[in-house]
Amino acid sequence: MDKIIDIVLSSLRDLLSDAVKVFPGFLAALIILMLTRYVAEFSRNIINRVSKKTTDSKSLQLLFSKTAHVTTWIVGIFLACVCAFPGLSLSSFITTLGLSSVAIGFAFQDIFKNFLSGILILIQRPFRIEDQIIVGDYEGTVDQIDLRTTRICTYNGEMVLVPNSDVYTSAVRVRTAFDQRRTDLAVGVDYNTSLPEAKNILQRTIEKVEGVLDNKSPEIDLVGFGDSSIDFVVRYWTHPRQPQVRQIQTRAIIAIKEALDDANIGIPYPIRTLYFYNQDKYNDFIPDNSNRNGSKSDRRTVDSIS
């Protein structure tokens, strides 16, 4: 019994001795992690100030600040591990990281893909925050570009999170990429209308609409003969923001309708003509002379009625 007690006491002394030896390392690691938190915040603030002075892109500012924050934490965690485990070296850390990266890569493939796509989007800048874009079935204003998703605020006030990999690999229409944007408005006039007169009326009317830019003259094009009208297309330029485009188009439609009404020019709508006849006098299977004669008389009757 005394031997067992001696063995237990000896083991406890060894554990206590090892704990005393390891305690300074763990304490130093804890202190490093606490300092890392403040250093990461300090470095992010410094990078934010520098990036705001060097670039006006909010996307790049976000990329720089997050990169500095993550890098500081990686360095701090590595130093804390070295202090807590003195036997850990840089080579063994890299080896362990390399072995585990394969499994991590398969498990987080989508996350890494979106992360890399987000970095490429922030660097290449195909669009900026507050640009209005169309990606797939979604259209709206770019609210934020994170390292994983692109946040879009739709025109009806909904928020859509689109994965960066989908944004990077899909065709993106940037409606506000330039300072001006053209709108094509279709207008049809009656076949009895004088086309030069109608074109002049449309030209004068669209030039007077509030919001239509005057640095690019509007164009009035004849595009074809419709079923019940001759078709024009009124092409004019406005500022690219969607609310302005929509409001100016409404004013243009009202102004064009009033101008054509004042000139007694009709805007026709599709017309269908229906013909009625007595089907009892027709036989689709046994055409005889009586039926042929009856059909001729019927056709004359229909023609006279029409």
Phi, psi of 55 (to 5 degrees): -145, 150
Domain boundary among 158, 174, 190: 174
183-203 pLDDT per residue, tens = 999 999 998 899 999 999 999
Claim to verify: residue 94 and residue 30 sit in the same structural domain? yes
Please report which confidence band the pLDDT of residue 35 belongs to, taking 50, 70 and 90 as the band edges: confident
35 belongs to a structural domain: yes
Claim to verify: residue 28 and residue 64 sit in the same structural domain? yes
Please report which confidence band the pLDDT of residue 297 belongs to, taking 50, 70 and 90 as the band edges: very low
Q: CA Rg, the chain, in Å?
A: 38
Claim to verify: residue 101 and residue 134 sit in the same structural domain? no
Q: Which domain holds residue 166?
A: 124-174
Claim to verify: residue 94 and residue 23 sit in the same structural domain? yes
Claim to verify: residue 8 and residue 91 sit in the same structural domain? yes
- In percent, the amount of the chain with pLDDT more than 70 equals 71
112 belongs to a structural domain: no
Domain boundary among 75, 107, 139: 107
Residue 248: exposure state from Cβ atoms within 10 A (0-12, 13-18, ≥19):
buried
Claim to verify: residue 155 and residue 214 sit in the same structural domain? no
Q: How many domains does the chain have?
A: 3
116 belongs to a structural domain: no
285 belongs to a structural domain: no
71 belongs to a structural domain: yes
Claim to verify: residue 19 and residue 64 sit in the same structural domain? yes
Amino acid 245: pLDDT: 94
Domain boundary among 56, 78, 107: 107
44 belongs to a structural domain: yes
Q: In this model, does residue 6 exceed pLDDT 70?
A: no
What CA–CA distance (Å, rounded) separates 295 from 268?
34
Please report which confidence band the pLDDT of residue 44 belongs to, taking 50, 70 and 90 as the band edges: confident
DSSP string computed for the chain? -HHHHHHHHHHHHHHHHHHHHHHHHHHHHHHHHHHHHHHHHHHHHHHHHHHHHH---HHHHHHHHHHHHHHHHHHHHHHHHHHH-TT--HHHHHHHHHHHHHHHHHHTHHHHHHHHHHHHHHHH-SS-TT-EEEETTEEEEEEEE-SSEEEEEETTS-EEEEEHHHHHHS-EEETTSSS-EEEEEEEEE-TTS-HHHHHHHHHHHHHHSTT--SSS--EEEEEEE-SSSEEEEEEEEE-S-HHHHHHHHHHHHHHHHHHHHHTT--------------GGG--SSS--HHHHHHHHHHHHHHHHH-
51-100 pLDDT per residue, tens = 777 777 676 777 778 778 888 888 888 777 777 766 655 565 556 555 55
CATH code at position 149: 2.30.30.60
What integer is the mean pLDDT of 160-179? 92
What is the pTM assigned to this prediction? Answer: 0.63
